[in-house]
Chains A and B, each alone.
Chain A
Amino acid sequence: MTEHLKNQIIWDNFRQGSRDALEWIYENNYASLFQYARKFSKDSDLIKDLIQELFVELIDSGSRLSTTNNIRFYLLKSLRNKLSKFFSKDLKLLGQLDDFTMFNLVDSIENQLIKEEVEEQIQNQILNALKKLSAKQQEIIYLRFYKGLSFNEIAEIFDVEIQTVRNLLNRAINSLKDDFQKSNITKSLIFFLLELSV
């Protein structure tokens, strides 16, 4: 059975109120949803609430939900809508907009660099290069490389043309390339890169 067909069948069962289907969906997607939403907000309690609320809404909608053959994509998209609705309305009022609405990948990467014990100077060079990327570019990198979404799906999430997504990703990679070429990072990086003699 192909992954798409499997997704479609499980989703249909879920729409009919299947508890097993719900459990499968939760098990296979909860971590992904949580990690994605964490890039928008550091407040993990809030995120847990919003994910739970999303599922309550999906359960309530039941057979009125549209069909899908990619549950992960469907859920990421729904959660993103929920987040953006929540942040734009309530948090704008609370004056907390800046802390919350921007997708931020840099923190997660920084944690990885620290874990790898990369030299501080190199760390800073990498982080500075990453900080030049827009929130949208960071989000595209994440959705494309870490959530495996297609350009088509990402374009649907952002409600833009597919070519726009491609261009944004290309420009992001180019920007990193330029920065790394300019600095001496190329040489020094070798220490922390693979223990591979090429």
Chain B
Amino acid sequence: MDRESKYQDYTVEDFVQDDSFRNWVVSPSAVLNSYWIDFQSKYPEKKSAIELARQIVKSIIVIEEPLDEIEYQASLSFVKDYISNKNFRKSLVSKITEVWSKVAAVILIPVLLAGIYFYANYHFVNQDSGNLIQYIVPEGQKSNLLLADGTKVWLNSGTTLTVAANGYKNVRKVVLSGEAYFEVAKNKSVPFLVETKDFTIKVYGTSFNVSSYNYQKTSEAILKEGVISVVSGSDEEIKMVPGQRLLLNEEKRFNLSEVDPSLYTSWKDNVLKIDNEKLDDLIVRMEHWYGIRIYVDDLDRVKDLRYTLTIKTESLKEMLELMNYVVPFKYKIDGENIYLNYNLTNNKPME
């Protein structure tokens, strides 16, 4: 018999790996029993190998826990609904409806801004991956939102925040590109993670500000209250205490300093606080704040001018007037382009 001649040369390892041998050990039947008893009386030299192989097989029998039928049915009907919906949604219009039904748990509070209702663009990161929602705040605008877990998020100008629509139960995670202020709802058993291009922030129920624009070489986090820790790509983990600012500089090195958090978080209350900032830094912040481009004549000469201002208004003109009061200059507003000229000795009017 072929099978028998095969088994004659079998070692312990071979028997363990043989499907029908294991089948006999795990669920013996009368037929299998008589076959193996026969075999052993014919080849008594195989007896000890078979015995050992049997013990090995017997000692790796796995018991699987039974499935929870109710939860299985719930999961099945979820995916069945999902595939039906996917087949149904064909046009862009129905796709948008789909998004809305998915974000029912996320309430959005539009912010009144410069007399116009802020208009946010909602759409999927990838329309085919249905379980992520991306919030995009255009330049010059701001928004805030309440996540399903109760966490409040303020989004600054030019920011994109990606959140999972259904969310893991074990991790709350958002991906940020831009600037945002978080008031994270306390939930000790479910940590909150903010991922940016440079680092990830692990949150223990707390308020903090993160700024990490894709086009900026530096990223920073400012902690107002609570505890956070910042983890970079190199697995370096830095714990922060309130009042600290963590700056990741252009060489991707961390620099921790003590600051007044309100200077960095005031934007969420529509207040722009400038504390002894150089003109060229101020210009970058104003460009974000108002969503404009600022061009300064002979910038090198005036870039080190320092400003300390608190602006509560949203009007660009008032801001410029205030700056003009500190150090006089001429300005011209041409749509989104603003031209500044500090060279007052030159009396030629700006073109």
Contacts and interface: CB of A to CB of B under 8 A. Distances in A.
Q: Do A and B bind each other?
A: yes
Interface of A: 17, 19, 22-23, 26-27, 30-31, 34-35, 38, 43, 45-46, 48-49, 51-53, 55-57, 59-62, 90, 92-94, 105, 108-109, 111-112, 115, 126, 129-130, 141-142, 144-146, 169-170, 173-174, 176-177, 180-181, 185-186, 189, 192-194, 196, 198
B28 A196 contact: yes
Contacts of B16: 173
A60 B131 CA distance: 10
Given A17-B83, A60-B130, A194-B25, A115 B193 contact: no
Contact of B72 (A30, A115, A126): A30
18 contacts: A30-B72, A45-B169, A56-B82, A57-B131, A62-B128, A90-B170, A90-B193, A111-B63, A115-B63, A126-B59, A146-B62, A169-B17, A177-B13, A177-B56, A186-B55, A193-B58, A194-B25, A198-B36
Nearest to B37: A198
Contacts of B75: 26, 30, 48, 51-52
Contacts of B82: 55-56, 59
Nearest to B86: A59
B62 A142 contact: yes
B339 to A, nearest CB: 47
A31 B67 contact: yes
A172 to B, nearest CB: 9
B211 interface: no
A19 B83 contact: yes
Contacts of B171: 90, 94
Contacts of B129: 57, 60
Interface of B: 12-13, 16-17, 22, 25, 28, 33, 36-37, 40, 47, 51-52, 54-56, 58-65, 67, 71-72, 75-76, 78-80, 82-84, 86-87, 128-131, 166, 168-171, 173, 191, 193, 200, 202, 231, 235
A38 to B, nearest CB: 7
Give the one of A48, A60, A94, A180 with max B CB within 10 A: A60
Contact of A38 (B65, B83, B84, B131): B65
Contact of B83 (A22, A27, A35, A146): A22
A60 B166 CA distance: 15
Nearest to B201: A93
B193 A93 contact: yes
Interface of A is mostly: helix
Contact of A56 (B33, B67, B130, B200): B130
Nearest to B57: A145
A48 B62 contact: no
B59 A130 contact: yes
B169 A46 contact: yes
Contacts of B71: 48
B76 A26 contact: yes
A52 B79 contact: yes
B62 A60 contact: no
A39 to B, nearest CB: 9
Contacts of B173: 90
A174 B13 contact: yes
Contact of A109 (B60, B84, B169): B60
A177 B64 CA distance: 24
Contacts of A144: 17
Contacts of A146: 62
Contact of B28 (A35, A105, A194): A194
Contact of B202 (A94, A130, A170, A173): A94
Given A94-B191, A174-B13, A129 B67 contact: no
Contacts of A62: 86, 128
Given A45-B169, A56-B79, A93 B128 contact: no
B59 A22 contact: no
Contacts of B84: 19
A42 B37 CA distance: 41
Contact of B79 (A22, A61, A115, A173): A22
Nearest to A185: B55
A173 B17 contact: yes
B62 A108 contact: yes
Contacts of B76: 23, 26-27, 30
B86 A60 contact: yes
Nearest to B67: A31
Given A48-B71, A90-B193, A193 B55 contact: yes
